[in-house]
Amino acid sequence: MKRLNALIVIAFAIGMVFTSCSEKKTTKKVVGVAMPTQSSERWINDGANMKSQLEAKGYAVELQYAEDDVQLQVSQIENLIAKEVNCLVVAAIDSTALINVLAEAKEKGIPVIAYDRLLMDTDAVSYYATFDNKGVGTAIAKYIEEEKKLSTAKAEGRSYTIEFFMGSPDDNNALFLYNGVMEVLKQYLDNGVLICKTGRTSFDKTCILRWSQETAQQWCENYLSGFYADEKLDIACSAFDGFAYGIRSACESAGYKVGVDWPLITGQDAELMATKNIISGYQTMSIYKDTRLLASKCVTMVEALFTGSIPEINDTKQYNNGKLIVPSYLCTPVAVDLKNYEQIIIDGGYYTKEQLGL
């Protein structure tokens, strides 16, 4: 009898452990994270950082990548809603394609945070965590201005050829970046210090759908063969490291040589390959965006939504999505080149010397 009692007690205790485990499981909040693509390194890092930082706070994470397929992203978000996640973090492929699915989230009481790219034409978004996107553009352009000493060029009779490779028209960030670039460079296009031989300087003529590296390469090849047979291209103002890789290939095929006539090529994201290209001279600069910092700001927004508190916000003016001005946190982008990459990238713990092959 005593043994039977003891067995009953043990069975009860085991039962309690299982119940409390399953209770814990059901009470753990789940965050659905929808990322655009794994084709560029930055988004892989963003997804990994979000997952690890949210898990460290005790949340469960459902991480999805839609490989730049708009419909796939819609259905991934639909699935996350069906699974009744507690919060959605979305980096959109096409910022205006998610209106219906986000309305569905709102109806189900699931709050939404826009990650890096603003969600347009929807009132379902609570917060926006991003980098200062116009600041990315001004940083790229100021780099060009300083490197080429554009402010004194007119008086000294200098001029430079330039071509523009801007971001995807369905990504709100791309126009912000373009506006930042032109805020600095337009005066030099107007006074003849910068010469764009293709004449393609407007956003409409320079934006590249889905940030395609292949398109950037194709365009650059066409520009070099069609417009730069006699005079060299001096500056490729590129909005993305992926474009810079395509431009590099086009320049190599056209016979440009590093240290001889290689153009100034800009980029964005400070991807590993871009940083290696900066070291070897194939890319001049990039914009370092610490995705660990961005993820941490986004995680504070998730926590605020769960606890009903107000997260840290530093912009309540710039990001009007057509329905509301979305309260935003803008991280600061930093220009990196050969002069400062060790301090910013290596000392900052973003990549190790080994990763960079040093």
Measured CA to CA, the distance from residue 310 to residue 300 in angstroms comes to 9
How many Cα atoms within 13 Å fall on the side-chain side of residue 98? 38
Q: Could you give the angle at which helices 99-107 and 70-82 cross, rounded to 10 degrees?
A: 10
Cβ proximity to ligand BGC, 153 vs 265, nearer residue? 265
69, two tokens: 């397929």
Closest approach of ligand BGC to the CB of residue 39, in Å: 8
Which listed residue (115, 211, 329, 350) binds ligand BGC by CB under 6 A? 211
Residues 6 or more apart in contact with residue 304 via CB below 8 angstroms: 127, 310, 311
Q: Does 269 interact with ligand BGC (rule: CB under 6 A)?
A: yes
Measured CA to CA, the distance from residue 136 to residue 131 in angstroms comes to 8
Closest CA to 86 of 53, 65, 60: 60
Helices (H), 69-132: 70-82, 99-107
Closest approach of ligand BGC to the CB of residue 337, in Å: 17
Closest approach of ligand BGC to the CB of residue 314, in Å: 17
Q: Does 128 interact with ligand BGC (rule: CB under 6 A)?
A: no
Which listed residue (113, 289, 298, 326) binds ligand BGC by CB under 6 A? 289
Closest approach of ligand BGC to the CB of residue 131, in Å: 7
Cβ proximity to ligand BGC, 88 vs 153, nearer residue? 88
Q: Does 271 interact with ligand BGC (rule: CB under 6 A)?
A: no
- Residues 330-349, interacting with ligand BGC (CB under 6 A): none
Cβ proximity to ligand BGC, 115 vs 341, nearer residue? 115
Cβ proximity to ligand BGC, 173 vs 300, nearer residue? 173
Closest approach of ligand BGC to the CB of residue 40, in Å: 5
Q: Does 291 interact with ligand BGC (rule: CB under 6 A)?
A: no
60, two tokens: 């469960």
Closest CA to 172 of 96, 112, 97: 96
Cβ proximity to ligand BGC, 117 vs 148, nearer residue? 117
Q: Does 68 interact with ligand BGC (rule: CB under 6 A)?
A: no
Per DSSP, 125 falls in state E
Are 191 and 180 in contact by the 8 Å Cβ rule? The answer is: no
Phi and psi torsions of 26, nearest 5°: -75, -20
Cβ proximity to ligand BGC, 153 vs 334, nearer residue? 334
Are 65 and 43 in contact by the 8 Å Cβ rule? The answer is: yes
Cβ proximity to ligand BGC, 294 vs 299, nearer residue? 294
Q: How many residues make contact with ligand BGC (CB under 6 A)?
A: 11
Closest approach of ligand BGC to the CB of residue 141, in Å: 16
Q: Does 42 interact with ligand BGC (rule: CB under 6 A)?
A: yes
Closest approach of ligand BGC to the CB of residue 265, in Å: 15
Measured CA to CA, the distance from residue 331 to residue 133 in angstroms comes to 9
Closest CA to 245 of 168, 142, 181, 165: 165
Write the binding mask 159 to 188 for ligand BGC: x where contact by CB under 6 A, - elsewhere.
Answer: ------------x-x---------------
The three-class DSSP label of residue 25 is: helix
Q: Does 297 interact with ligand BGC (rule: CB under 6 A)?
A: no
The three-class DSSP label of residue 128 is: strand
Closest approach of ligand BGC to the CB of residue 46, in Å: 9
Cβ proximity to ligand BGC, 50 vs 110, nearer residue? 50
User: In the sheet that 264-265 helps form, which strands lie side by side, from edge to edge?
Assistant: 194-195, 160-165, 235-238, 264-265
Which listed residue (73, 238, 268, 284) binds ligand BGC by CB under 6 A? 268
Residues at the site binding ligand BGC, with contacts judged by CB under 6 A:
40, 42, 116-117, 171, 173, 211, 240, 268-269, 289
